[in-house]
Amino acid sequence: MEKDREVIERYRRRLEVYAHLIEERHGYGVGRMHLYYTAEKSGNPLLSFNKNNDHIDKTVSVIDKTVQKIEVKYFGVTVRP
């Protein structure tokens, strides 16, 4: 169950990045984000998230920090995955 939550959370963050890019690059407003499971056989294949600007800002901030480390060629790993 916890593994499922982690996977869903990763999908949510990925959708947040897409929403941010669509708004920033193309000027379209995003209200909700949807994920459609194409291989779903027995349940609802649609998972939806409301857009949350605070979540998106945090996700973008994490990406920005990662990019900054890459740009200065810092590749240290503090905790092994």
Q: How confident is the model over 16-69, as pLDDT tens digits?
A: 999 999 999 999 999 999 999 888 888 899 999 999 999 999 999 999 999 999
Q: Does this model's pTM top 0.85?
A: no
pLDDT at 77: 82
Tell me, yes or no, whether 43 lies in a domain: yes
pLDDT at 76: 86
Tell me, yes or no, whether 79 lies in a domain: no
Tell me, yes or no, whether 76 lies in a domain: no
Q: Which one has a higher pLDDT value, 23 or 78?
A: 23
d(CA 57, CA 73): 24
Whether 51 and 19 have beta carbons less than 8 Å apart is answered as yes
Tell me, yes or no, whether 47 lies in a domain: yes
Tell me, yes or no, whether 53 lies in a domain: yes
Tell me, yes or no, whether 28 lies in a domain: yes
Residues in the chain: 81
Task: Tell me the average pLDDT across 70-80.
Answer: 88
Domain enclosing residue 62, as ranges: 2-71
